[in-house]
Amino acid sequence: MIQPEERLAAALARLILDPAAPPARHVAVGAASPIPAAACWLVRKLGHPMRLSLLHKRSGNPFTEGTRELFDLTGQGRIDLFFLGGGQIDGQANINLLGTGSFPGGQEAGSARFPGSFGSPYMYLMTPRTILFREEHSPRVLVPRVDNISAPGISAPGVFRRGTAQALVTGRAIFHFDPARARFTLASAHPGEDAASIRAATGFDYDEPAQLPVTADPDERELALLRGPVCDEMLETYPEFCARVFARKAAA
């Protein structure tokens, strides 16, 4: 049986390899991002040359000074693709990592705080390609307008940015983003979903094709790589993920 995480990793790998997008020669993955990391390792194991920098890697980490080096590389134009998520994401590809309600200041009753923006606005503007990723696909996450903009999906004329969102991948669907129109288009629905279920679970408006494709499952080769060599690469850094998804545990 194909696990949802395996399907998402394969879908992300195909987006990384999208021939219509600028080449992804160097991809960085932030902390606690096992599914994007699996996608990147899958690309590598499929034989595509790509430098992969994992901020969360427990040993052999290329970043001796953590995010400061990541930001330096990004500013120099040496990171081609990054992954971002958000407590809220809206139809203009804005992300909110601050919280619901008004900021700065106090919080309204029932509002929530998120982890914080950290480097998201810098990475979003300075990286040529960003794939937005959030497993939860619900109206509370995919909202008409984020309460607070941690990182903008588009910028005003004259504001320098190297790129914007390429796509949004969730646990239900894949959307492509058109920065010229500041609008998403539904590209595919995962097995078990359809146009109606995606529409009901999405708080923002978007375009959709007349015939909605189903997100392709990983093929036999991709599954074998994910469950074998990819998992081997990930066991040390993401042991809980490997145990849960691949039923593999690191050697004692």
Q: Can you list the domains of the chain with their CATH numbers?
A: 4-245 (3.40.1080.10)
Q: Are strands 88-90 and 142-143 parallel, antiparallel or unpaired?
A: parallel
pLDDT of res. 103: 64
pLDDT of res. 124: 97
pLDDT of res. 56: 72
Dig out the tokens for 123 from the structure. 């990475």
Sign of the CA dihedral 134, 137, 143, 148? negative
pLDDT of res. 250: 73
Question: Tens-digit pLDDT profile for the chain (252 aa)?
Answer: 999 999 999 999 999 999 999 999 999 998 779 999 999 999 999 999 999 988 776 665 667 766 788 889 899 999 999 999 999 999 999 999 998 887 655 566 557 888 888 889 999 999 999 999 999 999 999 999 999 999 999 999 999 999 999 999 999 999 999 999 999 999 999 999 999 999 999 999 999 999 999 999 999 999 999 999 999 999 988 999 999 999 988 766
pLDDT of res. 61: 62
pLDDT of res. 200: 98
Preceding amide of 191 cis, omega within 30: no
pLDDT of res. 58: 63
pLDDT of res. 161: 96
Cβ neighbours of 13 (radius 10 Å): 25
Distance CA 92, CA 80 (A): 21
Burial class (CB in 10 A: 0-12, 13-18, 19+), 4: middle
